[in-house]
Structure formats: structure tokens, C-alpha cells
Amino acid sequence: MLDRTKIIVRVAVNRPLRRLLDYSMPENLANRHSNCSTLIGCRVLAPLGKRQVMGIIIDCPEHSNINNDQLRPIGELIDHKPLLPQQLLSLFLWAANYYQHPVGDALFSTLPTALRKNEPIPQLGVPHWQLTTLGKGLSYDSLRRSPQQKALIENLSAEGQLAETTVLRLFSRAVLRSLIMKGLVEKIFIAVTVKPKDNENMVREPVLQLNSAQKTALDAISLHAFHCYLLDGVTGSGKTEIYLQLIAKNIRIGRQCLVLIPEINLTPQTQRRFIKRFNVSVVTLHSGLTDRQRLTAWAAAESGSAAIILGTRSAVFTPLHRPGLIVVDEEHDQSYKQQEGFRYSARDLAVIRGRRENIPVVLGSATPSMESLNNCRNQRYTHLRVDQRAGNAVQPNWSIIDLKGEFVESGIAQSTHAAIEHTLSRGQQVLVFINRRGYAPTIICQQCGWSAECNHCDSRLTVHRAKQKLICHHCDYQRRIPTNCPNCQSHQLIPTGEGTERTQEYLKQKFSHVKVIRVDRDTTQKKGAMEAVINDIERAEPCILVGTQMLAKGHHFANVTLVAVLDADTGLFSPDFRGHERLAQLLTQVAGRSGRGDNSGQVLIQTYQPQHPLLETLTRDGYRSVAAQLLEQRQSNQLPPIVHTVLIRAESTNSVSAEKFLHQTRQSMERIDASQAALTLIGPLPAMLEKRANRYRFILQISATQRSVLKQSVTLLIREIEKLKSSGGLRWSVDVDPQEM
């Protein structure tokens, strides 16, 4: 007969295992935690093979498929209260299941690094004292010889909890210490949360006056239950002011706000604006923080002491003490989709979390994604439009420059040069956009045509003159710039094409009287670099900004009145069906940096394809017309978001192994979908970049009109894939709702 007295815990370990593991609770822990359900969400150390690994308790089942006498005991209970609240833990489980990822790996990959290293949660909030279980069961006569101790016990019994300052005002530390040693009292920390009666000084500065469109959008958002709103406002329409006033309403009812932004480099300007507006605690969560800083911010959110939590993608998993509102700014941005490991979409999970916690979610963008527009069309989301710019600002004027009829030097047309000169002469600022960092895309031998290619990828090496290196932007392979051609020994090696570095050099030569600031990944790597750039720009002195798409995302530069896009043709002929959507979003976003202040703005688009339908529609009718056309095309061609897609990715040092593996995977899928009616299979096909870092990459695309059918089939497929033999160091992964091919 099996021993049924053991307490069983089901654990998700920090390993890429697609199943949960059952353990027993050691007797010493079982005696202290007879109600095992209170430990769900706590970290433990558990034996796995010969090692102790960290895990999180997911469940306390009554029975296990393993005999009780064969269950191994957990080694250590790290937390004595759940690390994650039940609702958030259930979101993790849902997300791991939906994105077909091992639960333990999903859980730990999004936690602060310090919590993965066995560190305790910092105790934040106001220290209080309360009776322990032993103290609550104390008989009336137990402390008759210690009247002060008895009086403190009676106070705590009557009040439940007392602030430490109150306890020490009424009793000596010696009295408190005696009760601690007897195990009768314990210290707890209670978060200081914003209460309705504390709101007089909540706002530091006067709120801005909303125009009628902003006010209509703000009034349409209810804070009292879950609903998803798409705030579709043209660039410069004051979406951030709507967020701020909505957040103020939320804080007034004592609730916290989670605000997601796509990039770390947006954090300083956004954080500064929030701190300037609110007299409450604002914390940030992103990968640029130290482990300790991130853990402290996470704990402040979990305890409720932080009213506003501002973060990038993984912040969607941050525990909140009193959740009230989630805002996803620039919801269309690709950065919200994790591209490695646990491939979740923070935007989509924000909506799921809002539904589970019964709080509203606001998705904001001037260029909404096809997914969100389709959800509005199907009435899942409420579509809120703000069509006018805030204050005195007006939409910029667009002009297309046909490069076929222009003199072009270093990628800048003569007309563009003249417009830059005119703008600077008026004391205003210019933004020159080129979405390619480095000095030049490649180096070529004039004598024999040799070009510098990466030895590890199907790509050319980019010239970085400042570093005197050729660098691969896919695998980071680097080598010195050669002095002569390795093929014919000629010294006639020339950089071909333009990048941000070369464009900056040219503009410095032509406009030596003003500052030319370059903003790309190379110049903003150091801590505080982006903040220094923003400070420079906000001085409003005439200058030229040269940058990549880092400059296109959400920045407010009031004195920029001219935006010049040097190479608009890159996305026109992309093999990815999302290429036109992303180009339209990028051009609209970067154009939106112009004319946000009192002066009108101008946008110049340099192209060799001035009659291209996308550019004509975008410059004449705007992004919404382009988006409507693209959504109809997706409908006609049965492409996402009309259908649902999963990619099975395989990569290997041997291209034959990767392709063969996916052929076998396809055969397994065809057996699962025997009628071949529910699913559409495409591939195996080489990935867009077939070879990367010496590994050959292939994809198998699986699509279905019904999400549930696709999920069920892929779940069965994964069980079959795990049985397949692999070679050549093959790795495979599942990408649900992929954003990249």
C-alpha cells in the first residue's frame, strides 16, 4: 500500500523541459507548511540528476504518477510566501502553453536575474509588527509576570498590526526583542499605496488642456473593467497626455499602472515626463539596469510602493499589488515580440493579462499594426481615433524627391541639401534618417569587383571607419579593414553606399557651423549616452540629427522642422509580406518627428521609385489608407492576421540535416492532419538569411484559419518532433504568431 501521508509538490524547474516534475515535501517543511497551496508560486531548490536546480511550485496534487516512496524530496524552500501571485502565475502557464515553450524556462527567463540567483525579495514598505500563530494562541495568563510584554501582545491582538514606529513609541526595544525570541511576534512590511484621500499633492504640474479629439478619447476609456482600446492618434496628437491623465485617474482610486514602451532608449525621456508630472513613485524595468536596480524596481511594483511601472517587453510579467491599468505605447513595434528562446508577444500578453485581472488595456500608436486594426474591425477592441495634432502643431508637408533627376553626393540629393541649409538658417533643427549604421554597407575592389563578405553568414561586412573594422551586423564577426584586395592585391578598395557614419562625416564637412549628432547603436551603447543626446537636442539650438530607426520611435523634439529620408526604397521590394506595412510605419513615424512645436514641418522622401503605389498613397492619403489596402490584401491572400501561423525553425552546421529534419516534421504534420483540410503547410524553405553564425537555417510554415485547430495540431506535432533523431548539432524551435521569416 502506498504511503499517502507525503505532501506532493509539482515543480517547474529552470531547465528546457516540456513537463512539470513531482517531488515530496521533506518532513521538517511539511510540519511547518501543512497547507501546501500557500506555497504555490514559491521558489525551491530541487534535485535533478546529480544537481540541485531552482524551480517554482506550480501545484500541490493529491496524487502523482510516481509512487510516493520513489519521489525525491525538494532540497530547500527559498521563499516563504509566493514570488508570483496566483493570477500572474496562471498567465505564465497560459503563455508557455500558447507559445509552446517549456514552463520553467519561460518563468525564469523573464524574472529579474537576481531572483534566478537565489536572492531574496527585498523588503520594501513600512515595517509593521503582528502576532505569529503561536502568539495568537497564547493563553490570557501566559505573560502575567511580564506586564509590558503582555500589554504589547494585547495591543497587537486588538489592532492586528502596528507600525514599528508606534510599537517603539509605546514599548522599549527590549520588550519587543523578548517577544521575538519567544516566537510570539513577527515583522512584516506593508506597502505605501496611493489612497483617494492622499491625492491633493499627487500631481506636480498643471495638466495640459486637451483638445476635443483628445477629450473624447479619454472619456471613452473606462477604468472599471477589462476592455481593450486602440488609441489611434496621428503623430504629435498628444497620446502621451491622454496616457498621463488616464493614469492620474487610475492612481486616484489607489491602483497601479503598467506602461510598456518598445525601446530602452525611450526610457529617459518618458521617465522624465512621468516624474515631472506625478508626485508618486515611478520605477523602470529594462535590461540596461544592474541586477540590484532591477530587483528593487520589481519588488517596488510587487509590494505596491511604486504607483507607475515603466518598462520594456519583459515588464509585462511584473507582479502588481493593485493592478489598475496597462498601457502599451507604440503597440505596432516589432520589439514587443521576443525573437529568441521564449518567443512571446508582450503586446498580446498585455491584453490577456488585462482580461484575467479585469483591468483596461490601452494600445497606442500612430501606425497601428494589422493585428490590432483587424481586432477593431472584428469589434474585439474599441477604435479611438485622434486626427489632429496637439496644441498649435499641424501635420508636416510631404515631398518626394526623384533621385533619377538629381545630383546626389554621399546619398544626399541637391534638393535635400538646399532644404537642410534653409532650415538651419532659420535656427531650426534637421533630422536625417538612414536606416543603416556604419560608414558604408560594404567595401569593393575597383579592379576585380571583390567585396568583403562574412565568413559565417550570407551577408556582406559593413565598413565602420571609426573603429577601422569590417563588422557583420548579424553575427558580430569583425576584422580589420584590409589595405589591399585579398583577391588581386589592388589598393583600389572603396567603401560603397552610405551609412550613418558616412552621412555624418559628409554633413560635418558641408555644415561645419552646426553640431551634427549621430544616433545609432554604436553611439548610444554607453550608459547615459542617449540621455545626453536628448539634452543636446532639447537646447533647441540649430543642429542636424543623423540616425537610424532609434530616432523614429516616440521622441518629441519640438524644434525639428525638417525630416529627410535618404533611402526609402529598401522596404519596397522586401520578400517578407510584412515589408510594406513596416515601411509605411517607419516612414510615418520618422516623418512624425517633424513640426511638433510651433513651426510647421516638412518631410522629404528620396527615392528612385516616385510612382510606387505605396509611396503615392502614403504621401497623399496617409497611413490609414495604406493600412486599409494592406488589410484587404491580407484578406484576399489569406495571410496573417486573417489566418494564424506557426513557424517550426531548424538550424544546423549542416544544411542537409536542418532541411531533412523539417521534411520529417512536415511528414509528421501531414499524418496528424490526415485530411489535409484544416492546415496549410509551406516548406521547408531557407530562412531569409539562410546562413548565420555558421549555422544553416530553415523554416516550415503551418497555417490555419482556426487558432484552436492550429494549437492542437502543433501540440501533437511537438510530441512527434521530440522523437526524431537529429545530427549536425541541430536545434529546433517553435515560433507562434511569428513576426520574422
- pLDDT band for position 125 (cuts 50, 70, 90): low
Helix/strand/coil percentages in the chain, nearest 5:
35, 25, 40
Lowest mean pLDDT among 216-230, 348-362, 366-380, 476-490: 476-490
pLDDT at 192 (0 to 100): 63
Structure confidence by residue, pLDDT tens digits, 40-53: 999 999 999 889 99
Answer whether residue 685 shows pLDDT above 50. yes
Question: Percent of the chain beyond pLDDT 70?
Answer: 96
CB 346 within 8 A of CB 313: yes
- pLDDT band for position 704 (cuts 50, 70, 90): very high
Average confidence score pLDDT of the chain: 88
> What values do phi and psi take at 590, rounded to 5?
-70, -35
Please give the C-alpha separations between residue 658 and each of 674, 686, 734, in angstroms, as whole numbers: 24, 10, 14
Structure confidence by residue, pLDDT tens digits, 66-79: 887 788 888 888 88
End-to-end CA distance of the chain: 55
Cα 738–chain centre separation: 15
Answer whether residue 392 shows pLDDT above 70. no
pLDDT at 5 (0 to 100): 63
Q: How many CA atoms lie within 13 A of 141 on its CB side?
A: 0
Which letter does DSSP use for residue 461 in this model? P
Sign of CA dihedral 480, 483, 488, 493: positive
- pLDDT band for position 393 (cuts 50, 70, 90): low
Structure confidence by residue, pLDDT tens digits, 541-580: 899 999 888 877 767 777 889 999 998 888 888 888 999 9
Please give the C-alpha separations between residue 439 and each of 52, 500, 508, 514, 543, in angstroms, as whole numbers: 49, 6, 14, 21, 20
Query: Which residues face 648 on adjacent strands?
Result: 700, 734
Residue 433: helix, strand or coil by DSSP?
A: strand
Identify which of 72-86, 426-440, 555-569, 619-633 has the greatest average pLDDT. 619-633
Which helix (H) or strand (E) segment is 106 a member of? helix 103-109
Answer whether residue 139 shows pLDDT above 80. no
* Dist. CA 84–CA 162, nearest whole Å: 26
CB 618 within 8 A of CB 626: yes
Structure confidence by residue, pLDDT tens digits, 477-521: 999 999 899 889 988 888 888 888 889 999 999 999 999 988 888
Between residues 361 and 724, the one the model is more confident about: 361
CB 406 within 8 A of CB 413: yes
Residue 384: helix, strand or coil by DSSP?
A: strand
Mean pLDDT of 650-679: 88
Answer whether residue 297 shows pLDDT above 50. yes
Mean pLDDT of 219-247: 93
pLDDT at 4 (0 to 100): 46
Q: What is the pTM of this model?
A: 0.86
Question: Percent of the chain beyond pLDDT 90?
Answer: 48
In the block, cell 522586401 appears at: 574
CB 43 within 8 A of CB 79: yes
